[in-house]
Amino acid sequence: MTRRDILMDIYNRLFEAFGPQHWWPGETPFEVMIGAILTQNTAWKNVEKAIARLKGEGIMEPEGLAQVKMGRLANLIRASGYYNQKARKIVHFMRFLRDEYGLNIKKMKKEGLLSLREKLLRINGIGPETADSILLYALEMPIFVVDGYTYRVFSRHALLAEDTTYEDMQALFMDNLLHDAKMFNEYHALIVRLGHAFCRKTPLCPLGDSPHSGQNCPLEDLLP
């Protein structure tokens, strides 16, 4: 089997097991962007609380959030953890959005993927995973998002080396699959679902020592 065949087999197994994930949860592209920053190093339920506070203040839109002082913003997003750092990152992002695109998301979306990605990565506090989440989930651009779950699942199945980089992980998908934003969206969301359900730090399959091992992970028979 080619790498493309293997990747599509994994995708099909996960989709059959878990179904569509409807990710990323957000009412607007802008909300998804802010959620991508807030979700760093925290559970999504904490992000939802922070977003609810911003909505309650009536500032979950570019013009409103761009006017908020850092101290007040930090207090509003306290539930997301690391709130001072994240407030600073959001302020830097809002400054970028204002200076480059006049707070206009549609104008931002018209920029080329690679050019926009380079600009996002120059923002203080925006790393590859956050930048790619903004591109894929908020702007529907065809780039594959990888994270700790991607590394865990695919290294355990001997498709990634232990010392692989973010770029190497991303290339595994970008070099072997059609560049389809909807499929990339679903694939990454399914990997995260698998990580929550089976491929945990102590895996719930024959690789693990958990008493719950062997609960029929959809990829179990693909283990090397």
Same domain, 119 and 149: no
Same domain, 129 and 60: yes
Residue 30 and residue 61 in contact, taking contact as beta carbons nearer than 8 Å = yes
- Give the 3-state secondary structure of residue 54: helix
Same domain, 39 and 129: yes
Domain count, the chain: 2
Same domain, 117 and 51: yes
Give the tens place of pLDDT for each residue, 3-18: 999 999 999 999 999 9
Domain boundary among 138, 167, 183: 138
Radius of gyration of the chain (CA): 19
| Residue 71 belongs to domain spanning | 29-138
Same domain, 39 and 89: yes
Same domain, 41 and 134: yes
Same domain, 60 and 154: no
Query: Which pLDDT does position 98 carry in this prediction?
Result: 98
Domain boundary among 103, 138, 173: 138
CATH number at residue 95: 1.10.340.30
Query: Which pLDDT does position 138 carry in this prediction?
Result: 97
CATH number at residue 163: 1.10.1670.10
Same domain, 203 and 104: no
Give the tens place of pLDDT for each residue, 167-223: 999 999 999 999 999 999 999 999 999 999 999 999 888 776 555 555 689 999 998
Same domain, 161 and 120: no
Same domain, 158 and 196: yes
Domain boundary among 110, 138, 166: 138
> Could you give the C-alpha distances from 44 to 50, 119, 224, in angstroms and in order?
10, 26, 32
Closest CA to 133 of 119, 147, 150: 147
High-pLDDT (> 90) share of the chain, %: 90
Same domain, 59 and 132: yes
